């Protein structure tokens, strides 16, 4: 089997993945920019100039990128092209030259100045920036260009206000200045969130009577007022009236962004109306609007942020309508979803039904598998908190021991855990990375500890319940990811370290040569500081990269490495330069066919959902990978 796996991955990495030239967008989608340029130029189609320009940008040919980006902008007026053009200009010229250029030509029709000025609305805050945005507002009113410049100006200004400061003055002046623009409502939403934070109910309520307040703004304000238990009769009328308002997409808002925002507005309004109706005893009417809201929920966050609240209020509506079975099911669904309503749902169940929701949930979902119960307190771990946990068996008794927050807990034959950190001789202060691994192949698991003060340390398992430090690298302090991996397939664990500093990122393989003797190999890797997960097999390392960077499948040789992820289409999806926000990677034989498969998890938190791909589950078949996650039956 081992030989089969080695042969499989070797064939996979050396094989060329064919992409049909008839669909050159596949090259751009998976980041094969040189090939995209090659085929796109042959077509001589002006509609391809935007991606040709971006492709040149991604491979570092900024002068050619500027040529095609400017041609594309003249044809399409796509503001996004200005940002790419500005980035190219900045790579070629120094910052003082650029600032002088913007000062001399404020928002003129000169392409260079227009692009650079827009780009700098994100990064600069001074009178020049205000003048620039004002001139765009006058010369290009009601366009995506003016909307983006004004939006950049809004959030740029807010970024300079500390959480302790009051943003009233800035926001009120901004809204007064841009009252006749779409950005006015963006500022109004930010202002309403500030008023909610300070519990200014009356000032919040006044926003509902603002003639220029959009449906989205009103939906957010109503939700905030309900959360503050502000329940005036007029709110019901405003809600019903707002429900009837049309939700037309502004011309300069991205289609995908608006689709998501529209769904959330629709859910929010119906949920809030149902909450008001329930307070007044209209359970059946509330159910009608809750079911309507449910039909708009998304299979992933942020729709899931409303999923549990819908179940909670549906449960109340069912119970008030005498539909106890449906109410019970809604409670179980809400608990399965999980979230901020967990405690309320449990209390609701306890007030209305006997037994536990867990027992009923098993029966309801026809679940025949094992049941897990929270044994943290009874096992002696109730006071332990930490972000990471590692498991191993330090005394080979068959019971897994654990490290949590740098503390070593010995498993007493499954009965309880005992903190043996000091007794074992471990110095774990400040440690935030810890692993069990048998570094000298003596059959006893050693411990790898790392922290940002003393670097990386290996503690040898002496076999009598104690450990002694046998290796340390105090220079390895600025890491983003550390993991023991079998880099060279020799049965001894090596150590993988990704790190970044002022010079750049690097990958370090600390190769085990013998009993606790190591040799280091370093490789330059720009995104090393963003590595969030790693899995290794047959001298190849699959890296999950966060912060909108692409994932990598690296094959090392003596002095360098080659990244095959783009060629194998497992780097993620190229969204004009960002590639998702991966949080973990794992390799294994998922379908039991003897070939290595891969999984990469992505964040689905509300603030990141527009910047993240879905989780990917790559199955290896015929010298290529195929993402089967969309059809795997897992929601996100």
Question: Are 431 and 524 in the same domain?
Answer: no
Question: Are 434 and 489 in the same domain?
Answer: no
Question: Are 116 and 197 in the same domain?
Answer: yes
**H or E, element range at 496:** strand 494-500
DSSP state of 518: E
Report how far apart, in Å, the C-alpha atoms of 458 and of each of 10, 183, 361, 439, 447 are: 32, 56, 46, 9, 6
| Owning domain of residue 220 | 31-244
- Count structural domains, the chain: 4
Tell me how far apart the alpha carbons of residues 221 and 214 are, in angstroms, rounded to a whole number.
Answer: 11
Residue 632 near residue 618 (C-beta atoms within 8 A):
no
pLDDT one-digit tens code per residue, 10-36: 544 444 444 444 478 888 888 889 999
Question: Are 224 and 188 in the same domain?
Answer: yes
Residue 137 near residue 150 (C-beta atoms within 8 A):
yes
Q: Is 378 a domain residue?
A: no
Q: For the domain that residue 188 is a member of, what is the CATH number? A: 1.25.40
Question: Are 26 and 58 in the same domain?
Answer: no
Tell me how far apart the alpha carbons of residues 596 and 400 are, in angstroms, rounded to a whole number.
Answer: 27
Q: What is the pLDDT of residue 301?
A: 46
Q: What is the pLDDT of residue 467?
A: 94
Tell me how far apart the alpha carbons of residues 321 and 391 are, in angstroms, rounded to a whole number.
Answer: 49
Tell me how far apart the alpha carbons of residues 213 and 50 are, in angstroms, rounded to a whole number.
Answer: 36
Tell me how far apart the alpha carbons of residues 582 and 321 are, in angstroms, rounded to a whole number.
Answer: 45
DSSP state of 490: S
Tell me how far apart the alpha carbons of residues 428 and 419 are, in angstroms, rounded to a whole number.
Answer: 12
Tell me how far apart the alpha carbons of residues 172 and 190 are, in angstroms, rounded to a whole number.
Answer: 11
Question: Are 232 and 278 in the same domain?
Answer: no
Question: Are 182 and 37 in the same domain?
Answer: yes
Q: Is 1 a domain residue?
A: yes
Question: Are 520 and 610 in the same domain?
Answer: yes
Residue 265 near residue 219 (C-beta atoms within 8 A):
yes
The token duo for 80 is 């996004």
Question: Are 513 and 565 in the same domain?
Answer: yes
CA 305 centroid distance within chain: 15
Tokens 């650029």 sit on residue: 98
φ, ψ at 472 (rounded to 5°): -155, 145
Q: Is 398 a domain residue?
A: yes
Question: Are 59 and 171 in the same domain?
Answer: yes
Q: What is the pLDDT of residue 298?
A: 62
Tell me how far apart the alpha carbons of residues 492 and 512 are, in angstroms, rounded to a whole number.
Answer: 7
Of 244, 266, 286, which residue constitutes the final position of a domain?
Answer: 244
Q: What is the pLDDT of residue 13?
A: 45
Q: Is 52 a domain residue?
A: yes
Return the closest-CA partner of residue 493 out of 477, 478, 515: 515
Low-confidence ranges of the chain (pLDDT < 70): 1-22, 93-129, 298-305, 365-369, 501-504, 538-539, 545-548, 557-559, 576-581, 602-613, 623, 633-636
Tokens 């609305």 sit on residue: 121
- The answer for 538, left when phi > 0, alpha when psi is -120 to 50, beta otherwise, is left
Question: Are 449 and 494 in the same domain?
Answer: no
Tell me how far apart the alpha carbons of residues 443 and 406 are, in angstroms, rounded to a whole number.
Answer: 23
Question: Are 163 and 223 in the same domain?
Answer: yes
Tell me how far apart the alpha carbons of residues 192 and 212 are, in angstroms, rounded to a whole number.
Answer: 14
Residue 505 near residue 555 (C-beta atoms within 8 A):
no
Report how far apart, in Å, the C-alpha atoms of 538 and of each of 7, 15, 134, 570 are: 9, 16, 58, 17
Q: Is 376 a domain residue?
A: no
């Amino acid at each position: 089997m081992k030989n089969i796996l080695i042969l499989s991955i070797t064939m996979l990495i050396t094989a060329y993945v064919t992409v049909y030239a008839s669909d050159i967008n596949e090259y751009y989608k998976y980041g094969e920019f040189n090939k995209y340029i090659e085929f796109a130029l042959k077509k001589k189609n002006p509609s391809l100039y935007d991606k040709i320009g971006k492709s040149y940008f991604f491979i570092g040919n900024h002068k050619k990128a500027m040529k095609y980006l400017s041609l594309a902008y003249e044809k399409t007026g796509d503001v996004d092209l200005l940002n790419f053009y500005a980035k190219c200009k900045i790579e070629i010229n120094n910052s003082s030259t650029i600032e002088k250029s913007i000062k001399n030509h404020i928002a003129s029709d000169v392409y260079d100045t227009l692009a650079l000025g827009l780009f700098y609305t994100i990064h600069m805050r001074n009178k020049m920036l205000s003048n620039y945005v004002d001139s765009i507002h006058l010369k290009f009113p009601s366009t995506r260009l003016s909307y983006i410049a004004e939006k950049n100006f809004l959030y740029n200004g807010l970024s300079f206000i500390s959480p302790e400061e009051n943003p009233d003055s800035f926001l009120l002046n901004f809204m007064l200045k841009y009252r006749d623009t779409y950005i006015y409502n963006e500022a109004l939403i930010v202002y309403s969130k500030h008023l909610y934070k300070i519990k200014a109910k009356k000032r919040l309520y006044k926003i509902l009577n603002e003639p220029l307040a959009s449906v989205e703004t009103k939906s957010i304000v109503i939700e905030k007022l309900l959360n503050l238990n502000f329940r005036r009769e007029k709110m019901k009328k405003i809600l019903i009236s707002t429900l009837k308002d049309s939700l037309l997409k502004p011309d300069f808002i991205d289609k995908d962004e608006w689709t998501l925002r529209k769904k959330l507005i629709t859910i929010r309004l119906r949920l809030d109306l149902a909450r008001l109706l329930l307070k007044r005893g209209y359970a059946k009417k509330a159910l009608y609007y809750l079911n309507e809201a449910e039909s708009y929920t998304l299979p992933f966050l942020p729709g899931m942020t409303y999923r549990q609240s819908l179940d909670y209020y549906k449960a109340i509506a069912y119970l008030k309508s005498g539909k106890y079975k449906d109410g019970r099911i809604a409670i179980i669904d809400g608990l399965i979803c999980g979230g901020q309503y967990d405690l309320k749902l449990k209390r609701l169940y306890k007030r209305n039904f006997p037994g536990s929701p867990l027992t009923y949930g098993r029966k309801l979902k026809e679940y025949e598998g094992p049941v897990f119960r929270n044994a943290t307190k009874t096992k002696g771990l109730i006071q332990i908190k930490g972000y990471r946990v590692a498991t191993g068996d330090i005394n080979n008794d068959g019971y897994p021991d654990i490290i949590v927050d740098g503390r070593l807990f010995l498993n007493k034959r499954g009965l309880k855990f005992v903190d043996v950190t000091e007794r074992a001789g471990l110095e774990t202060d400040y440690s935030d990375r810890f692993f069990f691994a048998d570094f000298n192949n003596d059959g006893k698991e050693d411990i790898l500890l790392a922290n940002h003060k003393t670097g990386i340390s290996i503690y040898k398992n002496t076999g009598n319940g104690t450990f002694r430090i046998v290796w340390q690298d105090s220079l390895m302090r600025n890491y983003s990811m550390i993991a023991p991996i079998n880099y060279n397939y020799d049965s001894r664990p090596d150590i993988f370290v990704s790190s970044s500093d002022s010079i750049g990122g690097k990958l370090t393989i600390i190769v085990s040569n013998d009993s606790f003797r190591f040799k280091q190999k370093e490789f330059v890797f720009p995104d090393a500081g963003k590595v969030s997960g790693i899995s290794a097999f047959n001298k190849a390392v699959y890296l999950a990269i966060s912060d909108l960077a692409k994932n990598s499948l690296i094959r090392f040789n003596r002095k360098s490495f080659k990244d095959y992820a783009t060629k194998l289409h497992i780097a993620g999806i190229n969204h004009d330069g960002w590639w998702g926000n991966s949080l973990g990677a794992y390799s294994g034989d998922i379908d039991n066919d003897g070939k290595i498969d891969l999984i990469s998890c992505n964040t689905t938190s509300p603030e990141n959902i527009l910047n993240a791909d879905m989780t990917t589950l790559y199955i290896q078949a015929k010298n290529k990978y195929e993402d089967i996650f969309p059809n795997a039956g897992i929601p996100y």
